[in-house]
């Protein structure tokens, strides 16, 4: 970042230069590609005050110009830096918030890489047959032991009363019975 300090109709003391440099260094926290900062301090002869002007050049963006008038040099610098930080914060937020891909672009990208119609048809027509052991009545404790040993989530069986039952694993680690 190039920094230039200019005094018009006023001589910049070392204290003012240090204050300007420290204030300008705070602008780097926004992670923007700041090319240069030009600070101009001028005496306003008509209104008996000080004019501070910051020109901030950012790569790929518009130049930001902040002008502040005040009776006190340090107050003018602080107010101008606050305004510059606010402008850079807005620019940074706009840049970071609006880089997301919109829903329409995502739909177009997904549709161009995958044929959704063919995938949907392939999933609809696929039936996986499984054999059930419903032929003989079983005890609930017997089916519970089988379910604990297997990786299945549920087991369908006929109990000793001739009713069709479902024993299943719950999310909390316990078992349920229908």
What ranges do the domains of the chain cover?
2-97, 131-178
Q: Computed from CA positions of residues 79, 17, 89, 50, in that sequence, does the dihedral angle turn out positive or negative?
A: positive
Q: Which helix (H) or strand (E) holds 64?
A: strand 64-70
Of the CA atoms within 13 Å of residue 107, those in its CB half-sphere come to: 3
**For 73-132, what is each residue's pLDDT tens digit?**
999 999 999 999 999 999 988 877 665 666 777 777 766 766 667 766 766 666 667 666
Look up the pTM and report it: 0.54
User: What was the pLDDT predicted at 162?
Assistant: 81
User: What was the pLDDT predicted at 95?
Assistant: 79
Query: Residue 34 pLDDT > 90, yes or no?
Result: yes
Mean pLDDT, residues 132-157 taken together: 82
Query: What CATH number has the domain spanning 131-178?
Result: 3.30.505.50
User: What was the pLDDT predicted at 53?
Assistant: 96
* Exposed / middle / buried, residue 88 (Cβ in 10 Å: 0-12, 13-18, 19+): buried
- Architecture of the 2-97 domain: 2-Layer Sandwich (3.30)
Of the CA atoms within 13 Å of residue 61, those in its CB half-sphere come to: 20
User: What was the pLDDT predicted at 50?
Assistant: 94
Dist CA 176 CA 75 (whole Å): 73
């Amino acid at each position: 970042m190039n920094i230039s300090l200019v005094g018009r109709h006023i001589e910049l003391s070392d204290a003012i230069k240090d204050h300007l440099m420290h204030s300008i260094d705070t602008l780097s926290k926004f992670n923007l590609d700041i090319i240069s900062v030009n600070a101009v301090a001028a005496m306003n002869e008509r209104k008996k005050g000080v004019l501070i002007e910051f020109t901030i050049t950012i790569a790929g963006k518009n130049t930001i110009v902040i002008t502040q008038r005040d009776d006190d040099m340090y107050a003018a610098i602080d107010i101008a830096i606050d305004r510059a930080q606010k402008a850079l914060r807005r620019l940074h937020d706009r840049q970071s918030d609006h880089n997301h891909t919109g829903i329409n672009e995502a739909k177009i990208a997904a549709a161009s890489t995958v044929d959704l119609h063919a995938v949907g048809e392939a999933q609809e027509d696929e039936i996986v047959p499984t054999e059930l052991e419903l032929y003989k009545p079983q005890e609930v404790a017997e089916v519970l032991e089988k379910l604990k040993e297997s990786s299945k989530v549920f087991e369908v069986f006929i109990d000793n009363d001739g009713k069709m039952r479902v024993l299943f694993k719950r999310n909390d680690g316990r078992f349920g019975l229908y």
